[in-house]
Amino acid sequence: MKSSRDFYIKAKTTLNKDVWNNTKCLPKPEIMDTDDMKKSRELPKSEMSKNPQFCCAFGISGACEYAEDCWHCGPSISEKSLFLNASIHMKWEYIRRRHMVRLLTRLGKYCKLQGKNAKEYSYLLESVCVLVCRSTFCKQSVSTTFVEKLVSKGVMGDAYGVEHALVMYKMCYYSLIYKDSREVDKLSMESVMLGLKLAFILSREFRKLHEKVSRLLAVMYAYSEDYSTPERVSGSRYASYFHQSSIGSYFNSFFFSQDQNLILVDDLREVLAPRSLTMLETSVSKFFDMLPEISILCISMLDGDSEKLLKHLLPRSSTSVWIMISKMSLNRRPMLVIRPICEVFEDIVKANPSLVGNWSCPWAHKVFDKIAPCLRRILEEDNKLVQSKMESQKMKKARRILDKNLRDLLRDMEGKWFGSWIHLLCGEWSDNQDFDATVEEIKNRLTKDALVDKNEKLCKKPVILVLDNDIQMFPIENMPLLINKEIYRMPSVGGIIWSISKHKRSAEDKTVVDPWDQTAIDPRNCYYLIYTDTEDTKKCFEKWSKTYEFKGRCIDWSKSRDAPETLGVDTLSKLRDELKTRDLFVYMGHGDGRKLIQAEEIRKMDSCGAVFLIGCSSGYINYSKSSVPDGAPLDYLLGNSPAIVANMWVVSIGCMNLFTTELLQTLIDTKLAEVVACNQAAYEKVDDNKNPNKRKAEDEDNGSTGLCIHKRNLGSSFIKAREIAGRNKSYKDIAATVVYGVPVYITGNNVNT
């Protein structure tokens, strides 16, 4: 501790040398020669101390006597003076203060490790002094009261955005953790809320800090009304807004940079990352007005600072991990639930010492491993099976055991993670007017037969999942209650709004638009690319090519696997053109296909159809190698693809051949007449609602129960294909397949009916 303090004192002495001193060194608007500047630096300390300690720009201290000497007023004066010397000095001053704050922050971390919380808090106050004081060359200190005044005035400190946000976040966090302690001079609860919102604004360009601040704000608004302030926006809206902001903030910047001419992008950027506290409340209100009618479900794991706060608020809780779930959609009140995960799913998978193989874990964080270590072991053991040369019968037996373990894990997690809140993961009713009729029908069945098929496909809207890094690899879609539900994935809520608006079609064309939502494809306008050495896959698509006039190409993987660039410029150029012009692109082969077409090329595309990436780990999103997530689904989403079907881990060829065949067959079998009739009926229901007696009579004549069983979209076709493949193939392989993107519906523009 002593050596760290000595290091800081030595560094501060170096940073406070005369060459850095900003007192009386900024040139005035009139010409000031070198001698005058030298004399100004030689003023006695008594003369220097006449200036107020803090700038009047804060509205706290008196007016600046010498505005040109003030650290906060100086930049504008130096800019007006047009002196190069002044600009250089201001740049050095920025660097000097930033280094001082970082030194103090690291020293505070060292104190935290030693349990000296009060000392760390004092370093935070000293950091505030470095950020806002006019001069750092005389011994000064700030109080908690002064910090509260800064927060109430909304002082942003844009010159040190990330430093200001980090210091404010830490001070607010300590005020919450040590709420009942006398050791730390704490901020008031109102100042804590304002301070965290200030940190939220300042950290919008710094992803990790922004996510931490957002998560803490969501916890505060969700946990207790004591933390809510009397505002026009409800606490549940604030909680859901901050929760979604804590997930996928990295992707929002990428989505927005893809289309600079889209008017919605500018509005959405201001809504998701407001630039001032005064805009925050308006941004939250606008955000919920921009949501689609489809339910969006955000799920994240809480550990670290958020977990410590919850444990402090609930001292009797023994859990170390919490799960946060928020559900939102247009014209509906958002809901947010925080549940403790007390049950640890022990590693029930026995390692087989005879199997040898290397496996790269897709996730970097270990939060998931605290509560479900067996998922990692299941995937690891399966990967070893694939690499081994085990006999066929023994391999099948080993895989059946892994399938059972995964199925049991998903069933147990459904009950123990979500409990009675599992209904949040289901979509809304497609027609709320028929809700009462559906309830009445179920009641009649219970009364008459006392039997209801739990797997019956009720007509429900899709759900889009937004999952944080810690839960991305968890196959939520395969939990028992959700396995027959239409579920998509997206990296962020901002990406959902952007993607839906990008692909939206005119509502006047009733053969294209489903009343639920926007995007439509013709599955016969398909291009396939086979990049494998498996003859069964090649023969399958050659048959499809003849029957349905698919266009595509087969590339021998054994000849080009080491040098895919040998395919030639013409081939790669054709691939890009097909991706841009086709409604559907099917890739079947090894990996995710990015050896054939680079990720940069995919992201540059201004249009792209739906994509099926049927390969091992084609939906693998790597969060472990760097702070920037990487994966083929993200590349295609940024390349304007509405939906991507992909596999999260290694799968068998036979299972994927069967699954792909069933999926394409289901999509193509959707007839144009059925699509038009179903869409037209949905539109006519709007008029029928005005005459409910007429509609009820028609339903009785037709034997209708208010349930729609017609499959006319990618999600429901995906469910059917997964169900058929799951009867005959490995459960683990089927659980690996997910859909990224937004709901995609089937059109028959090119179908001869």
Structure tokens at 36: 């005058």
One CATH from 3.40.50.12640, 3.40.50.1460, 3.30.70.1560, 3.40.1010.10 for 505-670+711-746: 3.40.50.1460
Question: Of 3-12, 174-183, 397-406, 678-687, where does mean pLDDT reach its minimum?
Answer: 678-687
**Spatial distance between the Cα atoms of 185 and 439, rounded to a whole number of angstroms:** 57
Determine the Cα–Cα distance for residues 312 and 371; give it in Å rounded to an integer.
Answer: 20
Question: For residue 555, which of 575, 538, 535, 531 has the smallest C-alpha distance?
Answer: 531
Residue 359, pLDDT score: 64
Higher pLDDT, 580 or 43: 580
How many CB atoms lie under 10 A from the CB of residue 342? 13
The predicted pLDDT at position 445 comes to 67
- Distance (Å, whole) CA 105 – CA 99: 10
Per-domain residue ranges of the chain: 1-178, 505-670+711-746
Question: Confidence class of residue 138 from pLDDT cuts 50, 70 and 90?
Answer: low
On the question of pLDDT at 471 being above 80, the answer is yes
Q: Which residues pair with 465 in a beta bridge?
A: 297, 489
In this predicted structure, which of 45-49, 335-339, 462-466, 738-742 has the lowest mean pLDDT? Answer: 45-49
Region for residue 429 given its phi and psi (left: phi exceeds 0; alpha: psi -120 to 50; beta: otherwise): beta
* Tokens, residue 376: 């990692």
Instruction: Tell me the helix, strand and coil percentages in the chain, rounded to 5.
Output: 55, 10, 35
Extract the tokens encoding 62: 């008196």
**What are the tens digits of pLDDT across the range 597-608?**
888 889 888 889
DSSP output for 636-703 = HHHTT-SEEEEESS---HHHHHHHHHHHHHHHHTS-HHHHHHHHHHHHHHHHHTT-HHHHHHHHHHHT
* Residue 539: partners with Cβ closer than 8 Å, 6 or more residues away: none
The predicted model gives 507-534 an average pLDDT of: 68
Between the two ends of the chain, the Cα-to-Cα distance in Å is 81
C-alpha to C-alpha distance for 240 and 462, rounded to whole angstroms: 19
DSSP 8-state assignment for residue 417: I
Residue 739 has pLDDT above 90, yes or no: yes
The mean of the pLDDT values for the chain is 74
Q: State the average pLDDT over residues 353-363.
A: 60
**pLDDT at residue 44 greater than cutoff 60:** no
Cα gap 143→126, rounded to integer Å: 9
Spatial distance between the Cα atoms of 190 and 188, rounded to a whole number of angstroms: 5
Neighbours of 330 (CB within 10 A): 13
Whole-model pTM? Answer: 0.81
List, for residues 284-322, the tens digit of each pLDDT value: 999 999 998 889 999 998 877 777 777 777 666 667 788
The helix/strand/coil state of 32 is: coil
How far apart are the C-alpha atoms of 403 and 395, rounded to whole Å?
12
For 266, the token pair is 């500018």
Q: Is the pLDDT of residue 705 over 60?
A: no
* pLDDT tens-digit map of 140-198: 667 888 888 888 877 765 567 888 899 999 999 988 888 777 777 788 888 999 999 99
Whether residue 355 is predicted with pLDDT greater than 70 in this model: the reply is no
Show the DSSP H helices in 415-492 as ranges. Answer: 435-448
Runs of H (alpha helix) within 314-416: 367-371, 373-387, 392-413
* Long-range contacts, stretch 690-693, CB < 8 angstroms, 24+ apart: 692/433
Summarize pLDDT for 231-241 with one digit per residue, the tens.
Answer: 667 888 999 99
Alpha carbon 175 to its chain centroid, in Å, reads: 28
* pLDDT interval class at 414 (50, 70, 90): confident
Instruction: List, for residues 260-290, the tens digit of each pLDDT value.
Output: 555 666 778 888 888 888 899 999 999 999 9
pLDDT at 392 > cutoff 60: yes
Angle between helices 161-177 and 207-223 (to 10 degrees): 30
